[in-house]
Structure 1
Amino acid sequence: MKINTPTTKIIAGKYKGKTIALPSLDVTRSSKSRLKESLFNVLQFDIIDKIFIEAFAGSGSIGLEAVSRDAKKAYFVELDKGSYNILVKNCKAIDMNKCQTIIGDTFVQTPSILESLKSSNDEIILYVDPPFDFRDGMDDIYAKSFKMIEEIENENIFMIIIEHVTTLEIPNTLGKFTLSKTKKFGKSTLSYYTYS
């Protein structure tokens, strides 16, 4: 019996309509289309030629949307091996040359990517979407995500976006960054941070 793999489509840009696979829904939560559309309506042309980092990548649907809309390069960090394999397959289906996939712990890998880009002239958009179904060992995931952002030293961050459960109270400032706006989509909310 063939199990249907969940899929989603790229909503806009040069790869519009291309289908990408999603990991099993009990491992990752795919970002809803409405949320994704709103995110890229906010970013608009600001995405062009930026470096996009998707910190909890899952299938990579957000970062690949950024690639489709002319981000210069996207970095994807994913811990779960099954999700990572799907992510690599999706990157190959879209544009492997613009994708850098890393398997491992976001809290180790993301700071290391940021460090490697510190002296780059490229501006960075960091997308942080911690899994919020609070699986075992996940209960401090937001605290750890906030701490990771607070410790960012890069001067070339254009924006940091956190996708989080709507009921979460999020800090007004995180290190050098201040909350500039939030948008709710039912259970999920997008919060945008820029330089203070």
Structure 2
Amino acid sequence: MKRGAKIAIGAAVAAAATWVGWGVYSSRTTAQVAYEVVGTANGVERRRYPALVTVETTAEDRSTAFRRLYRYITGANDGGTEIAMTAPVRTAGERMEMTAPLRTESAGSGVRMAFYLPASYAPETAPTPTEVGVSLTVEAPREIAVYQFSWYATGDRIKRATDHLLSTLEENGIRPTGKPFMMQYNAPWTPPFLRRHEVAVPIEP
């Protein structure tokens, strides 16, 4: 093998290793919303969540919604506070971090998207959004049923996961109390085999 080819292959291997290593690191270090697993059936988890503060928006598509929320965590708020999505940053004398997962659900012809804030924040202490269409909300304590999958969250994979979730609930006599939604835990550049996606639906406690 020629020396140039060896160098190119070595560079590709090093880049791939860096990509995977970064994906593992970011997945393990991102703060996540705490919950209690109260039951499992056929790969579906029943979880109990505490009250949670989110920053939320509704837009015509995922990209527009994400950009609005991203602007909020990068300073479009009354304190100009920056909140990192994948690692803590130091801002105004305190350390803050974005908490996984990202929540999305259908909203008419558009999409409703929310970022969860760390548990230390209450509505009165979280930075107030300054952009129209972005607001702080509170999710009351609730139980949800969740089915997890990996790789890219294509329409077909989401549909199969949702069908499995709903059929499992029906088989076990558990009634949904709302519409299914998506929860995603990784940055867009995370290797597909390291990605964590979940379809979820609120259920009767």
State the TM bucket, normalised to the shorter chain: under 0.3
Comparing both structures, which one devotes a greater share of its residues to strand?
2
Q: What TM-score do you get using the length of structure 2 for normalisation? A: 0.24
TM-score by length of 1: 0.25
Between Structure 1 and Structure 2, whose CA radius of gyration is higher?
A: 2
Greater relative contact order, per chain length (Cα 8 Å cut-off, separation 6+): 2
